Structure 1
């Protein structure tokens, strides 16, 4: 019996990997990773999540948790109390996403200064080539 998807490769430049790119787009945005990272500490209510993710709006958090729930990354549990209590938590799949993104976050933190230096050097070279161009 043939597999429903082609055997995965490690190049997203290949045309048949559009599904992989689609999934990466869903889980690799800053808000999704922020929710997953925040839920590493354990299940949380919506307000706790919002306070734990600097800069996220209520609308964006609502949209993000819906997508992550749909994708099987988080669970949403509603407790029938007054007022209703809704708690979000990581699924087993969400925990594997967290494990997969940790090395990337670590790399980002370890290389932040080098990237800042490279950007400064690039911007300086760009100004030398095109004088009068505003720096970013």
Structure 2
């Protein structure tokens, strides 16, 4: 048993799952990473398209988030040899495993919005 409270010790399996959640949140932390991943799950996008599509993100922040996602193996970056150079980002095989998560978040968001609107009526 892991340390919990005196009344509620945490099982090692539960503690392992909590560490996994912490690890996941560390990789996907911040306001923008899931928004970027969700878009790339549907189609590859150029940097400029992502900048336009992810409402409110600054260019410097987008660059940093894309670097983090690439470093963690969730997206890939392809640079064309054409003039002018074009950089296209795609979801990696590992990143595709997050599609179910982004779909679940979207479903929850739609249901929550409907509940809020219904409650306001």
Shared fold by TM > 0.5? yes
Gaps of 5+ in 1: 1-7, 119-136
SS in 1 for 2:97: helix
Deviations along 1:9-44, one digit per CA (max 9) or x if unpaired, are 4x4xx3784454132232253301111111133111
Q: Report 1:1-136 matches (<5 A).
A: 9=13, 11=14, 14=15, 17-18=18-19, 20-112=21-113, 114=115
Q: What's the RMSD between the two structures over aligned residues? A: 2.7
d(CA) in 2 for partners of 1:81 and 1:64? Answer: 25
Q: How many residues align?
A: 109
d(CA) in 1 for partners of 2:117 and 2:108? Answer: 14
SS in 2 for 1:55: coil
TM (normalized to structure 2)? 0.73
TM (normalized to structure 1)? 0.66
Higher Cα Rg, which structure: 1
Higher RCO (CA-CA < 8 Å; seq separation 6+): 2
